Amino acid sequence: MNVPAQPWPNVLPPELEQLVDEIARITQAPRELIISILICALAATVQRRCRVQRKSGLDGPVGVYLIAICDSGERKSAVQKLLFKALTEIQRLWSEEATHSVAAHRVEHALWREKVDALRDAMKRAVRKEESIDEIEKQLRVALEAEPQPSLALKLIYSDTTIEALLEGLHERGNSAVMVHDEFAQFCDGPMSRQLGALNALWSGSDWSVDRKTSGSFVLHDSSLTCLLQAQPVVFQRFLAKQGEQALGNGFFARVLVCWPYSTQGQRFESGSQGDYTKLNWFYDRCKTLLERSESRLLRFSPQAQANWNGIANSYEASMQPGGVYFAARDFASKAAENIARIAAIFHAFLIEDSDEICSETLQCAINLISFYGEQYVNIFGKYNPVTEQQRDLTDLEDWIQTTQNNKQWSCIPKAYILQYGPNRFRDKAKLDLLLDILASSLRITILKMNKKTVVYANTTIAAPQYYDSNRY
């Protein structure tokens, strides 16, 4: 089910917030869609030369995987064209430079061929004359090893590609790429879905071996990949209905940040004003500048930011316990802290050059943004997780206990009262006992005995507690 939510304020640093505002005015596309595509463009710009250290001795790549679920007509292409303009132009420049080098390579290869042919002829003459060929053979070996190779253009953007082309490109045409798939059905139903292990490894920064029958095998090392997958709701819902549980089980979607934006269709009225491209022009210049640089950066948290990151990592870990907020979405929560570090590093690498230390303000933006994606993840994937129904029961029961205590101004509520007057689905004693035990183990409620009767109270109750008649129930 689509339960859309809009990102709350402060999910982006001010400069990027202003950029999103400008694009929203120009395209009138959903804000969540703009932010998701922007994150991909930022990652593609900085990931080739940046890594982030989450804690001492533990660093990794900054690539991100995102899925945007939108109906046709939400102006996905318009937003992507604006935000990927600099990436497209720099890739075109690289292609032109490679084209210019083809002629030079042709001449170099012709001269090399003449030299090799001359050495082979000299070897034949020496053999006929029964002379030593050791020196000629040595020169020929050196020449053969020095065969000029064509200069392949660096490639950054892979649109609706195959997994084979992507892996080969990362090996031969630069070890940083952004993969864009506009047709989610092709991505899921085609060969790409059978190579999710490779995508998981590339996200994690692990080496990946590629064995080929007709050409040389190779190993991808220190490659960086960002993915932007765009799906129409009907296609995505059909995919979840068929493969939802399997997709969640293979680990790929644990790494993905997914959003289902509110539609702006029917609200995009023209004002007649001319678009302001000030921030976009700044963004283009910044992208081109960073893409041309080659020095590597290892980004770290400031002491305060490190303490904050440790705290949020522990919070996500605790949220995976029974009764926790992410108990039903533990796959997302298990990668949330790392995604926070990546997003914070992406923001910092794009905006700050004179320091490799990520500040707590930048980290907080990343924390807020991942919280939004976490909410979206639970809303979208929740029904395909077998523990989600129980999670909803836990939340509803806790809310009912707290509301009842506040409305009646009771200090606690007898379990018998819940069985008699609570929501119908909680009037089964075995089910209620299980839910109450889980809530108590996660410290969301307290269970105690009063006059030989079991009573409960919510630990978050805010009304002043009053005495209730314990003999009544």
Take residue 399 and report the two structure tokens written for it: 């809310």
Highest mean pLDDT among 206-215, 230-239, 257-266, 354-363: 354-363
Quickly state the pLDDT bin for 271 (edges 50, 70, 90): confident
C-alpha to C-alpha distances, 214 to 126, 150, 163, 217, nearest whole angstrom:
36, 20, 17, 9
Q: How large is the average pLDDT for residues 458-470? A: 48
Task: Please say if the pLDDT value at position 283 is more than 90.
Answer: yes
Q: Give the pLDDT confidence score for residue 462 in this predicted structure.
A: 39
Quickly state the pLDDT bin for 384 (edges 50, 70, 90): low
Quick one: which of 262, 256, 259, 88 has its CA closest to 187? 256
Quickly state the pLDDT bin for 466 (edges 50, 70, 90): very low
Q: Give the pLDDT confidence score for residue 465 in this predicted structure.
A: 35
Please give the sequence-ordered ranges of beta strands (E in DSSP) within 106-221, or none if there are none: 157-159, 176-181, 208-210, 218-220
Quick one: which of 18, 30, 27 has its CA closest to 68? 30
What DSSP line would sit under 334-369, residue for residue?
A: HHHHHHHHHHHHHHHHHH--S--EE-HHHHHHHHHH
Q: Give the pLDDT confidence score for residue 313 in this predicted structure.
A: 95
Please give the sequence-ordered ranges of beta strands (E in DSSP) within 119-192, or none if there are none: 157-159, 176-181
Report the chain's mean pLDDT, rounded to a whole number.
Answer: 85
Q: Give the pLDDT confidence score for residue 212 in this predicted structure.
A: 72
* Cβ burial 212-243 (10 Å sphere, 16+ → b, else e): eeeeeebebeebbbbbbbbbbeebbbebbeeb
Q: Give the pLDDT confidence score for residue 211 in this predicted structure.
A: 76
Q: Under 8 Å CB-to-CB from 188, ≥6 apart: which residues?
A: 239, 243, 247
Q: How large is the average pLDDT for residues 288-312? A: 94
Q: Give the pLDDT confidence score for residue 2 in this predicted structure.
A: 46
DSSP state of 192: G
Q: By the 8 A CB rule, do 159 and 187 touch? A: no
Quick one: which of 195, 159, 154 has its CA closest to 172? 154
CA atoms within 13 A on the CB side of 306: 12
State how far the Cα of 363 lies from the Cα of 11, in Å rounded to an integer.
10
Q: Give the pLDDT confidence score for residue 385 in this predicted structure.
A: 59
Pick the CATH number of 388-458 from 1.20.950, 1.10.3210, 1.10.3470, 1.10.10: 1.10.10
Q: Give the pLDDT confidence score for residue 9 in this predicted structure.
A: 61
Above pLDDT 70, what percent of the chain? 88
Q: Give the pLDDT confidence score for residue 40 in this predicted structure.
A: 96
Take residue 89 and report the two structure tokens written for it: 């132009």
pLDDT digits (tens, 9 = 90+) for 426-454: 999 999 999 999 898 878 899 999 888 99
Domain 14-91+153-268+275-384, architecture per CATH: 3-Layer(aba) Sandwich (3.40)
Q: Give the pLDDT confidence score for residue 243 in this predicted structure.
A: 65
Q: Give the pLDDT confidence score for residue 461 in this predicted structure.
A: 44
Quickly state the pLDDT bin for 80 (edges 50, 70, 90): very high
Q: Give the pLDDT confidence score for residue 326 in this predicted structure.
A: 87
Which uninterrupted H or E stretch holds 258? strand 256-259
Take residue 211 and report the two structure tokens written for it: 């064995």
Q: By the 8 A CB rule, do 169 and 220 touch? A: no
Q: Which residue has the higher pLDDT, 52 or 71?
A: 52
Quick one: which of 124, 10, 50 has its CA closest to 349? 50
Q: By the 8 A CB rule, do 23 and 17 touch? A: no
Q: Give the pLDDT confidence score for residue 1 in this predicted structure.
A: 42
pLDDT digits (tens, 9 = 90+) for 123-165: 888 888 888 888 888 988 888 888 877 666 688 899 888 888 8
Task: Provide the residue ranges of all domains of the chain, joining segments of one domain with +.
Answer: 14-91+153-268+275-384, 98-145, 388-458
State how far the Cα of 192 lies from the Cα of 227, in Å rounded to an integer.
12
pLDDT digits (tens, 9 = 90+) for 186-234: 777 667 767 788 888 899 888 888 877 666 788 888 889 999 998 888 8
C-alpha to C-alpha distances, 382 to 36, 279, 399, 433, nearest whole angstrom:
21, 38, 19, 24
Q: By the 8 A CB rule, do 163 and 29 touch? A: no
Quickly state the pLDDT bin for 113 (edges 50, 70, 90): confident
CA atoms within 13 A on the CB side of 351: 18
Q: Under 8 Å CB-to-CB from 440, ≥6 apart: which residues?
A: 446, 447, 456
Q: Give the pLDDT confidence score for residue 305 in this predicted structure.
A: 97
State how far the Cα of 61 lies from the Cα of 225, in Å rounded to an integer.
9
Q: How large is the average pLDDT for residues 332-359? A: 96
pLDDT digits (tens, 9 = 90+) for 385-418: 555 677 778 888 998 999 999 888 898 999 999 9
Residue type, 404: T
Task: Please say if the pLDDT value at position 470 is more than 60.
Answer: no
Q: Which residue has the higher pLDDT, 293 or 240?
A: 293
Q: Give the pLDDT confidence score for residue 444 in this predicted structure.
A: 87
Task: Please say if the pLDDT value at position 247 is more than 70.
Answer: no
CA atoms within 13 A on the CB side of 374: 25
Above pLDDT 90, what percent of the chain? 42
Q: Under 8 Å CB-to-CB from 444, ≥6 apart: which residues?
A: 323, 394, 398, 458, 459, 460
